[in-house]
Amino acid sequence: MLKRGKLMATKKMKKAQKKKLGLHKTKPVTLSHVDPRGKARMVDVGDKEVVRRSATARGFIHLSKETVTLVRENGLKKGDVLSVAQVAGIMAAKLTPQIVPLCHPLELTQILVTPQLMPDGVEVTATVRCVGRTGVEMEALTAVSGALLAVYDMCKKVDRRMAFERIELVEKTKEAL
């Protein structure tokens, strides 16, 4: 059994260790889409300020060299892969609240989807903008995912080894009106 003095020393040592590791500043993690009972809920954004918001996401799909050549030469039976991917990304961004259950429907002011053919696949970048009370990062990520899925769909007959990689949020901004 520890005496009171030793117990205090142990607590001080633990506190010093946490401080040294940078753990003394951590706050408890809370999830905004979970209620106190742990059930999913849609966040109330009604009291948030309306601001100009933007988010950019990026993703990549690896293709074989032969498939890259077919895409470059527009040699696939389904048509122009990059144009279809661009339109699919735009459509996906607009449908985000129907795909991601707890997303708020937003009035999007701009959706830019740019598929770019690379030596080993297709990189897609999407930027989504709105004026609203909540961010558009899910719309940007969904746009990238939809565009990459379209590439996969158009190339699946000729390339069974395609692989998605690095679907990520690159930037998120908000500014007062």
d(CA 108, CA 128): 7
d(CA 173, CA 18): 33
Q: Enumerate residues 6+ apart whose C-beta is below 8 A from 44.
A: none
The reply to whether 153 belongs to the active site is yes
166 φψ region: left (φ > 0), alpha (ψ -120 to 50), beta (else)? left
* 3-class DSSP state of 161: coil
Out of 47, 80, 153, 159, the active site residue is 153
d(CA 40, CA 57): 25
Catalytic residue IDs: 153
